[in-house]
Structure 1
């Protein structure tokens, strides 16, 4: 059994699934919102209190929650502490969270709030020493978020596109100790057009690590297609807009994956 397969076996939740669905809660101004392709001008508010969304997903059977501090991503520091702490402290399931984490103090802050796994994104490009130190200190509690536009890594809340290719960054950070990547194809985010499965698999193969897919999941078939590539390293999927619009019902999706 490979190290990646062993980790998948260890990560199986109560459902017995190694492939995990992560309901997304994006927080801006203390509210649960969704943006279109990361555009802060294209915002829809779905819940006034993000905790209500978390409670809904837990009741439906969620085994993880994915949080994004959108204000933090824009400002380069954690902002929505109250909502993050309330969700991490009350859900009873693990929570992963990203958005504006640039220092070890930021990572420690979220860890103290009860966040199980922090997500480092922009810092992976702009401050490699910090990322490597965070990986060394926190190990599995750190995931690397790679958001790509036309194959190149985007940073600072998707406002800036770098000259670094997503697959090359994944290779480098895997060598530095990264064990989990979260990959978003920005062109698919919020568009309900399905995930970029080919790019997700390429990143998993290039890094030799587990990749959580993000962006574009809009149908049950999208989840089933991703789950079929579990042995290639596709470890789960983040689902946002489709849950809030009712195109995917979380309980039904989990049941379908168990049957598959």
Structure 2
């Protein structure tokens, strides 16, 4: 896998626009594009091999709210899409997979209803990524608004034998803050789990990406990059 392939651009949708939050705060919003569909197409044109789409309205409200936009993104790009945000029912997951989303990211539901989560992953094997959002060392749910008592590894281990694709590990305190990713936390998870881990949160430069890429053999599949791409800290076209 090349360094460019390792980078997964994020398109976060709120109120129909492509935005970024600062440390998961729904009130700290910066709009980068009025049309998320165009944004997704731009990242594909710049060489992205994979996209990470988040419905922030869905994450906070508990049900996908930007379904039509995601459907249009799927129709307008040819690269795989992973989607998260508000997937807390069987029907919501089924709908996203039916419209052509490659994989779905589920976090809160796995914590709140393990039995339903198990049914979903059994019905859609290898289509589900377990979302592990960490805040101050503990897993956070419901759009990062509620902290649990689980450490990221304890939470991940609960589902290790389920037919999930892997894990998305986000350090919420770093998300959108351009302070560098939680490399040690990501490495620790990947070393102790038997499925791939995608890193997320805090990437500020290509150097940050390279640090994760250099240890990818421990089981790190890629890194979701948002603000660093939108603010021009990383130019995807220039990455080999």
Give the TM interval when normalised to the shorter protein: over 0.9
Deviations 1:175-227 (A, max 9, x none): 22333100001111111011000000111122222100000111111111101
Higher helix share: 1
Match status 1:115 vs 2:88: no
Which position in structure 2 is the counterpart of 1:44? 30
Aligned to 1:187: 173
In structure 1, what is the equivalent of residue 57 of structure 2? 71
Please tell me whether residue 61 in structure 1 is matched to residue 47 in structure 2.
yes
Structure 1 counterpart of 2:196: 210
Q: Is the 8 A contact 2:4 2:48 kept in 1?
A: no
Structure 1 gap ranges (5+)? 1-11, 256-260
Q: RMSD between aligned alpha carbons?
A: 1.3
What residue in structure 1 maps to residue 83 of structure 2? 97
TM-score by length of 2: 0.96
Stretches of structure 2 that go unaligned for 5 or more consecutive residues are: none
Deviations 1:77-118 (A, max 9, x none): 111011100101110111110001011111111012211111
Equivalent residue for 2:125? Answer: 139
Task: Indicate conservation of the 8 Å contact 1:19/1:235, yes or no.
Answer: no
Work out whether residues 64 and 87 of structure 2, in 8 Å CA contact, stay in contact via their aligned partners in 1.
yes
Q: Which one of 91, 102, 113 corresponds to residue 127 of structure 1?
A: 113
**Contact 1:31–1:50 under 8 Å retained in 2:** yes
Query: Aligned equivalents of 2:126 and 2:219: distance in 1?
Result: 16
